[in-house]
Structure 1
């Protein structure tokens, strides 16, 4: 009777301990195999627009916006006298500061996700397509 109670308690504990040891060995092996100290963990890449590209974008006032007068970045209304930025191609408008902060990190329209390509900064407006 005591032997069966001992076996009933010992075997599950021994099995879980063996699984834990195997898990820790696999974890250590994968951690050592994946480390390359010469390469960075995530390569740095510039994603947003530069300050000179931001200056090339159309800066208007709230009354000049073609589409909606709500800023999709801060979710506030763009007043008629507030400066706004219009994204080329899709003509979506945002507060000037909101748009510059967004576009300096992400080269896409925050509303429709249209990519702001370098060709949109050309002086020839016939090459610009609508989204």
Structure 2
């Protein structure tokens, strides 16, 4: 009976060591969306806090957008954010932080055509 127990322990030890030699297969989160480039961000409309249409709370930092602060408006849904907050978010995600509407390339280029600057 002792011999069977020793063989069993050896098999368990061997099995655990052989699994650790191979890298464990951890689930990997694939990034399906890529954020906007710096040139695309520059094409999005800029405004000030006093000209925002849909509220003055930045959903990224949860702070009020003061009337004199620069803001960015997401084309399509017209949600507004602090300029720096929006650029940080949109450089990593190509969707609106509030409604999750995906920014389409034609929206980016259409908004830059509207802005003659």
Distance 1:45 1:92 in 2: 23
Aligned partner of 2:15 in structure 1 is 22
Aligned partner of 2:82 in structure 1 is 95
Aligned partner of 2:67 in structure 1 is 80
- Structure 1 position 51, deviation (Å): 1.7
Indicate the larger mover: 111-120 or 19-28.
19-28
Q: TM-score, normalised by structure 1?
A: 0.66
Q: Which residues of structure 2 form unaligned runs of 5+?
A: 112-117
1:112-123 → structure 2 map (5 Å cutoff): 112-123=99-110
Give RMSD over aligned pairs.
3.0
Q: Which residues of structure 1 form unaligned runs of 5+?
A: 35-42, 125-131
Bigger RCO (CA 8 Å, 6+ sep): 2
Distance 1:83 1:111 in 2: 19
Larger-Rg structure: 1
Indicate the larger mover: 82-91 or 107-116.
107-116
- Structure 1 position 63, deviation (Å): 1.3
For the residue of structure 2 that corresponds to 1:53, the secondary structure is: helix
